[in-house]
Structure 1
């Protein structure tokens, strides 16, 4: 059996958090949900994660600003955590746009949970 990987899910929708949690828990991922980018940074100070699922549009601190703050961290392990954007505004962004701000991949909303799971696995088990 493979080791349990830790996923930080930054999403302000409780429905999406619960669905994502159910899909990833079924595949033995440990999930920590937060509601905004500020909470992501607070969690990262205390814990290590293997992947971050980052909503783009969140209150307090959005996913773009949070990703840039993570990439600027002095702890190189945390600064290089794979970050996967999750967004309903995919028509306004390209994968290149996400890569330029430091994200590694993206999955559009409404979420295709098979694609989400395969994308998380791709980055968690590098």
Structure 2
């Protein structure tokens, strides 16, 4: 049996964290949450993950600064992890702009959990 895929959620909203965990738990994904970019980096330093879902707007360190640091990590497995942006997209960034920042995909808030599941599956298959 394959081991469960591990997903790291970088998100400051407890509601979004809990809903996302509940939806992804049906697919037996293991999840950890970090409430800001600094905590995402600390968890990533200690553990391996298969995918990161990351909010753009977080306190302490936002998602754009966090992804910049992840993409420049020396560990090539970690620096090339699939990272999906989740954002209200207040700056109206295009999918191409999210890719330029280093994101592999983008999901618009409010989150459509069918889309979250489909996007996660697409990047983990």
TM-score normalised per structure 2: 0.96
- Structure 1 residue ranges (4+ consecutive) displaced by more than 4 angstroms after TM superposition: none
State the alpha-carbon separation in 1 of the partners of residues 3 and 97 from structure 2.
32
How many residues align? The count is 125
Report matched runs for 1:93-112 at 5 Å: 93-112=93-112
For residue 91 of structure 1, report the CA deviation from its aligned partner: 5.8
- Aligned partners of 1:90 and 1:108 also within 8 Å: no
List aligned pairs for 1:1-126, cutoff 5 A.
2-89=2-89, 92-125=92-125
Supply the distance in 2 between the matched residues of 1:90 and 1:114 (Cα, whole angstroms): 22
Structure 2: distance between partners of 1:115 and 1:2? 24
| Distance of 2:47 and 2:54 partners within structure 1 | 17
Structure 1 residues without counterparts, runs of 5 or longer: none
TM-fit CA distance, 1:112: 0.4
TM-score by length of 1: 0.95
The alpha carbon displacement at 1:74 in A equals: 0.4
Provide structure 2 residue ranges, at least 5 long, that are not aligned to the other structure.
Answer: none
* Distance apart, 1:92 and its partner CA: 1.4
- When the two chains are superposed, the root-mean-square deviation of aligned CA atoms in Å is 1.1
Provide the rounded CA distance (Å) in 1 between the counterparts of 2:67 and 2:25.
24
Displacement of 1:3: 3.3
Cα separation, 1, equivalents of 2:92 and 2:68: 19
CA distance in 2 between partners of 1:28 and 1:58 (Å): 27
Change (3 A) 1:69 1:5: same
